Structure 1
Amino acid sequence: MRKLISLVLIVVSIISMAMFMPPVGGQLLITSSFGEFRGTGNRGPHFHMGADFSTQMRSGVPILAAADGWLVRVEIDEDDIYGNVVVLQHENGFRTLYAHLSGFSEKIKSIIDSVVAEFGRRRIVVEFPERNIWFKAQEVIGYSGQTGEAAQPHCHFEIRNIDETVCYNPSDMLNIPKPADANFTVRGLMIDGERLNYTENEVYRFRGSWPKIAIDAVASVGRNVIGLRSLRLYFNNDLVYHIDFSEIRLEEFNNVWAVYTENSVADGYRYTAYYKLYPDKSSNVVKLNRFPELGQIPSRTNVTIVCEDVWKNEHEVKFVLERR
């Protein structure tokens, strides 16, 4: 019976992962993940609300519809965070968004050209009638570019609900292959604001009833660093804190300081982001917070941080805390 249940869960998992097809052709290589910290842009520090996929730093690479759907909206704005955008509506109730485009599909190019000719290069949002202009799965909707705040040409891809109030993690709905050179790395640890080098099973000191732990941990793929999907903090094998990036509400776009420390940096060329594993500001990304009921933790406490990457591999970070 347990084997049957496990098999069913595996099948359901595979189906959910394959809900959408890749928005770029060829080998699918993720370069930035959902929920990562972003510190630039005219909207201020914010969460990365989608996933980025490589186009080998080339503009003009075809960007493909992730499923059958009709055109909802086109945004023309080279200076906004997203740059030029296409949004599709799908029969499964989701919408997909494709950003930083350098150009649009031939199917809609003449419409866009006429709008630009009339209104100029200001920000333009064109909304289309429901079920009027259709795209088949893997049909070209536009071309890769670096409009908006993109440092290099790539494909920025988002999955949203129908009223565009929630963004979902694309790694849960796409089959993203794990590169052979992907490695989990702990780049830094902070306890009570003090930066430390992480060594497994090391003893670290803390003050007060419980420590403020923050961790800079990523999956590295070549020159790219990929943020985590979730983090779970355990004290003496008891789960006390859980951050999960399965979805983020659009109203929390700028609520990054609830999850990241204020010395985090992401400017297109540098990425250093410490996840806060303690309560500060409220956020729906924080799924469990048992600190209010903890009281004072033991003077010597075993700590385990379970870090899950975008491929759902779990990596354990272990050390010991002793009160000063």
Structure 2
Amino acid sequence: MNRFTISYLSFFINSLLIFGQYEKDLIAPLEIPFSLSGTFGEPRATHFHLGLDIRTQGKEGWEVKSISSGRVSRIRISLSGYGKAIYIDHPDQTTSVYAHLQKFAPKIESYIKKFQYINESYTIQKFPKKGDLLVEKGELIGFSGNTGGSSGPHLHFEIREKKSQKPINPLLYDLPVHDEQRPQLQKLFIFFPDKNYILPHIEAISLNKTNDSIYETAKIETSGKIGLGIQMFDRQDSSYSRNGIYSTKVIVNGKIISHYEFDQLIIDESKKLYNVIDYKNYIQKRLKIFKLFYTEDIKLNFMNSLVEHGIFEIEFGKSYHILIEVQDFSGNKSIIETYIEGTKNSLKQVKLRGKLIKADEDYLYSSKNKEVYFPTNTFFDTVKIEIIENGDDIEIGPNFFPIANPYEIKFSLNEKDSLKRIQTFVAKKLKKSLIYLPTKLNKNILTAKVNELGTYTFVRDSLAPTVVPKNFKPEQWLSKFKFLSLKINDDFSGIKKYRGSINGEWILFEYEPKKKMLTYNFSDKYFENVKHKLKLEVEDNVGNKKIYQTTFFRKYDLKD
């Protein structure tokens, strides 16, 4: 029996032990060939991915079906995140999640729309009672879309433990994903995690691919305690996306010292993302270097085993044989084989200026009109921060350190005009743009909570949002129209809220921020009159308002 067969059997047996109580006879949520643009556990900019992203061939509107019988336990509509999403509880004590939907199936659409009209709100979250919305295996529950924080049409699909809400790798349920491609390994990195250094010394090691599955390096000469990291990705058949991997092992002289396997996650562990991905390289170069060691005492859920945190010591005069095995869910494997010789080395410490702040300490920076406050546990570890004022700007950096919990910035305004004060907000300053931050105003003090180091300032937005009708003109007959569409825009502080009405009655405008479009379905309400008054109020984040009013004509058919 070869080593691959043993490895795969071990995985299979473990999967049976962990997930054997769950139903396996599920149907796929989409009836199109599976092509993945995202895999379970892969690191994103702010979190570990909790499910699968299934491509929908660049289109919206594919039928989405329940993978098993159950009841709809949660419906949520948001402008960001999962957009339109459905959660279904199943008898085997799992919950399936379907996100970024274009719209829901008619009975679910009717249920949630009733509450949207009661609350007079497009965004909503409801938890239907048991028995309210039952579904059968294979029943239509919605249509694929691109709502929320999606960057392109696809279905985000999850399976979770019902009680704990821990996401489970959906590939454990034998979904039709075909994959005969090995993971692609790009570069090896050696970390020297010395507690005396604010930033660890990192050395990049080039890889030489010797055959389809084996990568080698030149002999490495170094010494001291080290951890390893890899820049890598995986692809499935019929997919060109650079997706995440399933399993990694680090083997030193025949002993496994680190083993990661993405069978299950804990949602809150996304806060520790940049303890696994090297933050500095990601922010500066957009390189995702996956660290195969972990310096904190409590390991994350996907870390099956760590010997001495996955850190091992290279002693002077000794030789070490290193194997790093990287495997996808289908069992395709790539291996790095290298040798490390223990020799003297001298590490260059990155010199930083500024204030040394330990994780368990707070720190207040205060000047005439600016204040920065770091509460305890703002950072994961000891950092060195330099704060520089430049006119209205305050530079807080360098941005080499991830934030564990938000810190606070305050600006004192020298402005007597109350309207101008209300229109002023804290913004993050990028090279060519300013990003609005939710801001509180108390007398002359602006306060914002932020979760990244960088340059911040305060600016004023005195311009109201704009409203432009897209599919109609004032005084137009719209009897044959099914929808009413308008474009709303605020290119500075952004849209905060809106309210639409016809003849004084609130109507449900669905909002798609990416397209800046509001859409009303004429079938929602019946109006007896032929002449109708449309009113739309739009407000930005600092209170500037635009009121758009017009008249249109429409004869309602009782069949509408």
TM-score interval, normalised by the smaller of the two chains:
0.7 to 0.9
Shift of 1:128: 0.7
Cα distance, 1:148–1:48 mapped onto 2, change above 3 Å:
same
Letter in 1 for 2:301: N
Q: Tell me if structure 1 keeps the 8 A contact 2:179–2:330.
A: no
Shift of 1:150: 1.0
CA displacement 1:45-85 (0-9 Å, x = unmatched): 11111111111121111111111111101001122x11111
Query: Residues of 2 paired with 1:285 and 1:173: CA distance?
Result: 18
- 305-314 vs 9-18, which moves further: 9-18
Q: Tell me if structure 1 keeps the 8 A contact 2:226–2:312.
A: no
CA displacement 1:169-200 (0-9 Å, x = unmatched): 111123333246x3421122211222332122
Please give the secondary structure, in 2, of the residue aligned with 1:98.
Answer: strand
| Alignment pair present for 1:288 and 2:287 | no
Instruction: Show structure 1 runs of 4+ deviating over 6 A.
Output: 13-17
Corresponding residue number in structure 2 for 1:212: 227
Corresponding residue number in structure 2 for 1:202: 217
Matching residue within 250, 261, 264 for 2:267: 250
Matching residue within 291, 307, 314 for 2:326: 307
Larger radius of gyration: 2
Query: Residues of 2 paired with 1:243 and 1:163: CA distance?
Result: 24
Query: Residues of 2 paired with 1:77 and 1:294: CA distance?
Result: 42
Query: Residues of 1 paired with 2:245 and 2:23: CA distance?
Result: 17
Q: Tell me if structure 1 keeps the 8 A contact 2:159–2:169.
A: yes
CA displacement 1:100-123 (0-9 Å, x = unmatched): 111101121112222223334453
Please give the secondary structure, in 1, of the residue aligned with 2:111.
Answer: helix
Query: Residues of 2 paired with 1:60 and 1:311: CA distance?
Result: 30
Query: Residues of 1 paired with 2:119 and 2:221: CA distance?
Result: 60
Corresponding residue number in structure 1 for 2:138: 138
RCO higher in structure (CA 8 A, sep ≥6): 1
Query: Residues of 1 paired with 2:178 and 2:23: CA distance?
Result: 14
Query: Residues of 1 paired with 2:123 and 2:227: CA distance?
Result: 43
- 8-17 vs 47-56, which moves further: 8-17
Please give the secondary structure, in 2, of the residue aligned with 1:225.
Answer: coil
Query: Residues of 2 paired with 1:11 and 1:183: CA distance?
Result: 21
Q: Tell me if structure 2 keeps the 8 A contact 1:203–1:321.
A: no
Letter in 1 for 2:63: P
CA displacement 1:94-146 (0-9 Å, x = unmatched): 00011111110112111222222333445311111123322112221111112
Q: Tell me if structure 2 keeps the 8 A contact 1:176–1:311.
A: no
Query: Residues of 1 paired with 2:23 and 2:257: CA distance?
Result: 29
Cα distance, 1:95–1:295 mapped onto 2, change above 3 Å:
closer
Cα distance, 1:241–1:146 mapped onto 2, change above 3 Å:
same
Cα distance, 1:119–1:174 mapped onto 2, change above 3 Å:
farther
Please give the secondary structure, in 2, of the residue aligned with 1:71.
Answer: strand
Query: Residues of 2 paired with 1:155 and 1:264: CA distance?
Result: 30
Which residues of 2 match residues 27-38 of structure 1 at below 5 A?
27-38=33-44
Shift of 1:300: 2.2
Query: Residues of 1 paired with 2:281 and 2:312: CA distance?
Result: 29
Shift of 1:10: 11
| Alignment pair present for 1:231 and 2:245 | no
Query: Residues of 2 paired with 1:312 and 1:185: CA distance?
Result: 14
Letter in 2 for 1:253: S
CA displacement 1:236-265 (0-9 Å, x = unmatched): 121001112111112213221232221465
Corresponding residue number in structure 2 for 1:60: 61
Cα distance, 1:263–1:138 mapped onto 2, change above 3 Å:
farther
Letter in 2 for 1:274: I
Q: Tell me if structure 1 keeps the 8 A contact 2:182–2:327.
A: no
Which residues of 2 match residues 46-85 of structure 1 at below 5 A?
46-79=47-80, 81-85=81-85
Please give the secondary structure, in 1, of the residue aligned with 2:242.
Answer: strand
Query: Residues of 2 paired with 1:63 and 1:271: CA distance?
Result: 34
Q: Tell me if structure 1 keeps the 8 A contact 2:225–2:314.
A: yes
Cα distance, 1:21–1:297 mapped onto 2, change above 3 Å:
farther
Q: Tell me if structure 2 keeps the 8 A contact 1:30–1:176.
A: no
- 187-196 vs 66-75, which moves further: 187-196
Letter in 2 for 1:203: A
- 271-280 vs 163-172, which moves further: 271-280
Query: Residues of 2 paired with 1:293 and 1:248: CA distance?
Result: 20
Please give the secondary structure, in 1, of the residue aligned with 2:59.
Answer: coil
Cα distance, 1:9–1:190 mapped onto 2, change above 3 Å:
closer
Shift of 1:286: 1.6
Q: Tell me if structure 2 keeps the 8 A contact 1:171–1:311.
A: no
Equivalent pairs, count: 308
Cα distance, 1:313–1:102 mapped onto 2, change above 3 Å:
same
Q: Tell me if structure 2 keeps the 8 A contact 1:49–1:248.
A: yes
Give TM-score scaled by structure 1 length. Answer: 0.85
Note the residue ranges of structure 1 that are not aligned, 5 or more in a row. Answer: 1-5, 40-44
> Root-mean-square deviation (CA), in Å?
2.9
Q: Percent identity?
A: 21
Corresponding residue number in structure 1 for 2:294: 279
Cα distance, 1:105–1:226 mapped onto 2, change above 3 Å:
same
Letter in 2 for 1:20: L
Cα distance, 1:310–1:295 mapped onto 2, change above 3 Å:
closer
Query: Residues of 1 paired with 2:281 and 2:77: CA distance?
Result: 30
Query: Residues of 2 paired with 1:251 and 1:38: CA distance?
Result: 14
Note the residue ranges of structure 2 that are not aligned, 5 or more in a row. Answer: 1-8, 192-201, 209-214, 344-560
Query: Residues of 2 paired with 1:264 and 1:169: CA distance?
Result: 28
